[in-house]
């Protein structure tokens, strides 16, 4: 389910952003480069550009997510779009309306983009396959499958701190089995040419044949993070677990929790990341989460710029030149 043909138009430009899988390296770099340009916007006193003025973007979240939904909303508003947040708990889908009917009704309201988050893998692809030609769909997380904008904001964070990817040892620690973020991160890192991608987890929290994802597998945290340049910690996805996969959270932290002492095994300039929400004392110690190596809050900051970039590119837009921006002008991509 790569969705590559769905995601780009006949000219190779982004139309939907559903998964990293099937995309080419140049498109990921373009998203990051565009996001870099937007970082200046989000740091200005007036944090808006008129690129999506007159467009309507719908945040359609069937799963709760304060941070992701908020950053998508901020990103859309900073592009001057109108934003509609659908309260799914009170929506017609709860009353039996199908996803297709929901899509058609929103399209009838002349909406231009859907940001979709759903517990079932493939929901964003479903919307993209059935959406009208002018509508773009952004995947904000579907089941265990993908979370592409999170992966790209993580890649931007790494690039800004490390410059490139080819010499990096990147380690992802935690619940790999249930994490859509991990899957998207692994694909992005391999596509961008990371020197080595490792995963560290107990056997019960790894997918079968995890090596086929393009990673080295470790079951010992200290061995896995040794000489690492980037350490990405993941939370335990209790809501997706079936059965007792761990003895206890206390035991998990004892074996796989990142502490200041363990962090000394990594490279001296290593950075520590976490897609959030953080469970302190479960996968990461507060001393590390708030310490000098942590770039967790930077990830949130860069997330707004990356989502602005994805939205603008998917709507076939480009950031205006500085002089045009002051005049409120804009220019089309291509």
Q: Is the pLDDT of residue 238 over 60?
A: no
Check residue 119 and give left, alpha or beta (phi > 0: left; psi -120 to 50: alpha).
alpha
> How many angstroms separate the CA atoms of 154 and 14, rounded?
19
Q: What is the mean pLDDT of residues 147-161?
A: 98
Confidence of residue 232 (pLDDT cuts 50, 70, 90): very high
* CA distance readout (Å), 29 to 36, 284, 306: 10, 30, 11
Q: Are residues 178 and 291 in the same domain?
A: yes
pLDDT higher at 46 or 179: 179
Instruction: Identify the bridge partners of residue 211 per DSSP, sorted by sequence position.
Output: none
Q: Are residues 87 and 123 in the same domain?
A: yes
The percentage of the chain sitting over the pLDDT mark of 90, rounded to a whole number, equals: 74
Q: Are residues 63 and 184 in the same domain?
A: no
Q: Are residues 288 and 167 in the same domain?
A: yes
Q: Is the pLDDT of residue 234 over 50?
A: yes
Q: What is the mean pLDDT of residues 299-314?
A: 96
> How many angstroms separate the CA atoms of 43 and 38, rounded?
9
Q: Are residues 82 and 126 in the same domain?
A: yes
Total domain count for the chain? Answer: 2
Q: Are residues 317 and 275 in the same domain?
A: no
Q: Are residues 292 and 152 in the same domain?
A: yes
Q: Is the pLDDT of residue 212 over 50?
A: yes
Q: Are residues 159 and 104 in the same domain?
A: no
Query: Minimal CA–CA distance to 139: which of 153, 155, 150?
Result: 150
Could you tell me whether strands 196-200 and 169-173 are parallel, antiparallel, or unpaired per DSSP bridges?
A: parallel
Q: What pLDDT sits at residue 246?
A: 66
Q: Are residues 188 and 319 in the same domain?
A: no
Look up the CATH number of the domain holding residue 230.
3.40.50.1370
Pull the structure tokens for residue 45.
């006193």
Q: Are residues 41 and 63 in the same domain?
A: yes
pLDDT per residue over 102-112, tens digit each? 889 989 999 99
Q: Are residues 16 and 73 in the same domain?
A: yes
> How many angstroms separate the CA atoms of 202 and 211, rounded?
14
Q: Are residues 83 and 123 in the same domain?
A: yes
pLDDT higher at 3 or 279: 279
Boundaries of domain holding 195: 148-298
Asked whether the whole model's pTM tops 0.85, one would answer yes
């Amino acid at each position: 389910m790569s969705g590559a043909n769905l995601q780009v138009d006949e000219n190779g430009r982004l139309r939907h952003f559903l998964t990293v899988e099937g995309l080419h390296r140049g498109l990921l770099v373009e998203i990051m480069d565009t996001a870099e340009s937007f970082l200046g916007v989000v740091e200005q006193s007036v944090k808006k550009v008129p690129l999506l003025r007159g467009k309507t973007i719908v945040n359609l979240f069937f799963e709760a997510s304060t941070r992701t939904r908020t950053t998508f909303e901020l990103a859309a508003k900073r592009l001057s779009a109108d934003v509609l947040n659908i309260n799914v708990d009170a929506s017609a889908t709860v009353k039996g309306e199908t996803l297709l009917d929901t899509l058609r009704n929103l399209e009838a309201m002349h909406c231009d983009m859907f940001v979709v988050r759903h517990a079932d893998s493939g929901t964003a692809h479903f919307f993209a396959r059935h959406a009208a030609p002018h509508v773009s769909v952004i995947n904000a997380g579907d089941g265990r499958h993908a979370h592409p904008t999170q992966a790209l904001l993580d890649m931007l964070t790494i690039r800004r701190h490390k410059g490139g990817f080819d010499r990096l040892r990147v380690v992802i620690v935690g619940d790999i089995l249930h994490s859509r973020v991990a899957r998207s991160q692994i694909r992005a890192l391999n596509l961008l040419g990371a020197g080595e991608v490792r995963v560290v987890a107990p056997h019960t929290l790894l997918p079968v044949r995890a090596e086929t994802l393009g990673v080295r597998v470790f079951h010992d945290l200290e061995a896995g993070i040794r000489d690492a340049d980037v350490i990405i910690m993941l939370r335990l996805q209790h809501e997706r677990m079936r059965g007792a996969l761990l003895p206890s959270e206390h035991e998990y932290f004892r074996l796989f929790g990142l502490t200041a002492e363990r962090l000394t095994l990594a490279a001296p300039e290593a950075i520590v990341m976490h897609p959030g929400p953080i469970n302190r004392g479960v996968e990461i110690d507060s001393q590390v989460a708030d310490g000098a190596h942590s770039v967790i809050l930077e990830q949130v900051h860069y997330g707004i710029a990356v989502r602005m970039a994805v939205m603008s590119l998917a709507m076939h837009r480009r950031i205006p030149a500085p002089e045009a921006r002051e005049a409120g002008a804009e220019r089309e991509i291509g």
